[in-house]
Amino acid sequence: MKLYAVIMAGGVGSRFWPNSRMEKPKQLLKIFNDNTMIQDTVDRLSKLVDDENIFVITNTVQKPFIVDQLKNIPKKNIIAEPFGKNTAVCIGLASVIIESFDKDAVTITLPADHLISPKSVFHKTIKNAANYAYKNGGLVTIGIPPTRPETGYGYIQIGESSSEQDIYKVKTFAEKPNVGTAHRFLESGDFLWNSGIFIWRVDSILEEIRQLMPDLDDGLTSIRKHIGKSTFDSQLSQVYGQLKNISIDYGIMEKSRNVYIIRGEFNWSDVGSWEEVYNLSKKDENGNVLKGDTYVEESFDNYISNDDKFTAVIGVENLIVINTPDALLICDRHSSQNVKHVVDYLKMNKKSDLL
């Protein structure tokens, strides 16, 4: 069994404005340490997947930055989609490419911008899932045991046990719940967070696409014969223009009868907002996270990231302050999901230099 990774790195990450921009979304930023999030994602795969078996699916804008950040990954493995068409299409494309040289490949499909620790538990989970997927041909997703009634994540309800420890049939997928439902999910004990990490054999996922997404299957078929040829890019553009924007959850996972879930007993976050970055960061004795040249007086529980210039804060609490060379965000910590409204405003007002 040979393991491959498919890193999905197409997101625009408007919730991390002003650090994130069209060409530098969250996965390309150094948020928690001196590595960017996609660099951490690749590091996390080391000793599990060989560098030459790691593939990144991104877009033309981000591709040069990713090539630059991931020097150990073969450049040909970093593939730009002509348009973003959601995860089902992205996964289909990666699968036919990998299938073209390894029909027995087992792939780990995962987003580029999640925070996961410790690595050892992550590896153990992936290995168990990969063994199961290799042997049984199932589609395995990782579910994270919830630690709070989070309304920002999708949930998956576990069903009957499989033959393997910690691997279950999936009973239902549930969209992001309201608070009451999230509490019920948490208390029930049989709902796990949908991590968006999938493990399967390429032939398994391609067979599911064949059955459940025949339009996508047709598209992939017409791409297949151009793989490795000079006609690939133009064929991709032509086919992508006609494909539907559908998530793998909606297109396959919620419909297939061959879906399994493994408990991921590691710390996991999709790092969906500046508030979440604050929650996941190490605080000083006043509950502050401070980056850059900052004077702080009587201020508590703030996240202050300052790439630009000397910043003084006095008497403030629960703020997110992001100071970049060309834009400044000051946001109540608990309102940080509204940062995307700023991006909407900038688009509406054609301030494209700040996007």
Q: Name the residues that contact a second copy, by CB under 8 A.
A: 17-18, 295, 297-298, 306, 308-316, 319, 321, 323, 325-332, 334-336, 338-339, 341-342, 345, 351, 354
- Distance CA(219)–CA(182), nearest Å, equals 38
Q: What is the DSSP string of 63-108?
A: HHHHHHH-TTS-GGGEEEESS--HHHHHHHHHHHHHHTT-TT-EEE
φ, ψ at 146 (rounded to 5°):
-70, 145
- If the CB atoms of residues 68 and 297 are measured against a second copy, the closer one turns out to be 297
Min dist CB 339 to a second copy, Å, is 7
Q: Which two tokens stand for residue 329?
A: 């965000």
> In the block, which residue shows the tokens 């997110």?
320
Nearer to a second copy, 43 or 310 (CB): 310
68 versus 326: smaller Cβ distance to a second copy: 326
Residue 328 Cα distances to 19, 127, 274, 344, angstroms: 9, 43, 14, 16
Q: Of the two residues 104 and 345, which places its CB atom closer to a second copy in the complex? A: 345
- Distance of closest approach, residue 285 Cβ to a second copy, in angstroms: 19
Closest approach, Cβ 279 to a second copy, in A, equals 17
Q: What's the distance, CA 299 to chain centroid?
A: 33
* Minimum distance of a second copy from residue 139's CB (angstroms): 40
Q: Element (H or E) spanning 339, and its range? A: helix 339-348
CA–CA separation, 177 vs 224, rounded Å? Answer: 39
Q: Are 34 and 46 in contact, with CB atoms under 8 Å apart? A: no
Nearer to a second copy, 173 or 278 (CB): 278
Q: Give one word for 304, left, alpha or beta, with left for phi > 0 and alpha for psi -120 to 50.
A: beta
Report the nearest approach of a second copy to the CB of residue 78 (Å).
32
Minimum distance from residue 317 beta carbon to a second copy (Å)? 8
**Which CB, 285 or 314, lies closer to a second copy?**
314
Angle at 281 between CA 275 and CA 287, to 5 degrees: 80
Q: How far apart are CA 170 and CA 260, in angstroms?
A: 5
Q: Smallest distance from the beta carbon of 323 to a second copy, in angstroms?
A: 6
E strand or H helix at 115: strand 115-117
Quick one: 1 or 330, whose CB is closer to a second copy?
A: 330
- CA dist 301 and 238 (Å) reads 51
Smallest separation (angstroms) from a second copy to the CB of 320: 9
Instruction: Report, in Å, the least distance between residue 182 CB and a second copy.
Output: 22
In the complex with a second copy, the residue whose CB is nearer, 121 or 316, is 316
Nearest distance from C-beta of residue 295 to a second copy, angstroms: 5
Contacts of 236 (CB under 8 A, 6+ apart): 81, 82, 93, 223, 226
Nearest to 64 by CA among 51, 80, 48: 80
Pick between residue 103 and residue 351 the one whose CB is nearest to a second copy.
351
The nearer residue to a second copy, 184 or 341, going by C-beta atoms, is: 341
- For residue 125, give the H/E element and its range: helix 119-136
